[in-house]
Amino acid sequence: MKSFFSAVLLALVAVSVVDAQPAGFTKPSGPVQPASDRLRLEVGYEPNLGQPLPLDAIFTDETGAMVSLGSFFSPKKPVLLVFYYQSCPMLCSLQLESVVASLKGTKYIVNRDFNFLAVSMDPNDTVEGSAKAKRKITNAYGQSGSEAGFHFLTGAPEVVKQLTAAAGYRYYWDDETKQWAHASGVLLVAPDGRMARFLPGVEPFPRDLQFALLEASQGQIGTIVDRVVLYCYQYNEASGRYGAAIMRTLRVAAVGTLVLLGGFVIFSLRRERKAASSKIIA
């Protein structure tokens, strides 16, 4: 019976792979809709999913070391990328803390399963500021051993622009308010450096974040059960959210019914054979 259930589970996984979205990632629609004309034209976050980030770009990390963007990618770990700047009066801190709060609601752990990358858009930001931001966020995360997976980067103006342009992240310096006008969102990047999923807004739902990490990992994290659950949900390009896929859910329910019926039949046959054997012996 155990082999029967295993076979059915593997069949379900196979169905999910065959019926999954086509290989590659697609570009989300639904640009940011700001208030003013300048904000509407110059601020937004529209990553071209499936395209690579400039992994050869050189940044400075929170220790003062010069590092390439590609050094944070490995064959087995996706990367969660957030843009921010150190003197942001509210939105950036709120987003970083909200993302960390959402991550605590998932089963995946920074450093063990993926890397957390926060890149400053302000070329005037400092290494000291990066170190301070990292301490604050890792303390909020509160997961022992995760510190090595958090990275806060600063860079020269041309390098920052290279990365933000590749990510479809648009922003500008507002002389009147003395602040950077920018959008918010979380970008999930595959281990090979391709942009995989985008979750707009300040605070992603833990479920959406977990699904996005699972998809971005390209099968490197999570279990068969995780992938079966993901099979029942589908990424919505317009909203950047995951919603129930009705037909897939019905298929899973149908397979579950077959499993129960098959198990009942096998149990009944074994019971009858055992009863028949007992009569013969008697």
Q: Domain-by-domain residue ranges, the chain?
A: 24-244
Select the more confidently predicted residue: 197 or 275. 197
Q: CATH number of the domain at 24-244, please?
A: 3.40.30.10
- Of 100, 58, 56, residue with least CA distance to 193: 56
246-281 and 224-231 helices cross at what angle (nearest 10)? 130
Q: Per residue in 17-69, pLDDT tens?
A: 334 343 344 444 444 444 578 888 899 999 999 999 999 999 999 999 999 99
Q: What angle do CA 16, 254, 227 make, to 5 degrees?
A: 25
202 residue type, one letter? V
Is residue 151 classed exposed, middle or buried when 0-12, 13-18 and 19+ CB atoms within 10 A define those classes? buried
Q: Per residue in 231-274, pLDDT tens?
A: 566 667 666 767 765 434 444 444 445 545 555 456 555 666 66
Q: Decide if 248 contacts 264 (C-beta within 8 A).
A: no
Q: Per residue in 105-127, pLDDT tens?
A: 999 999 999 999 999 999 999 99
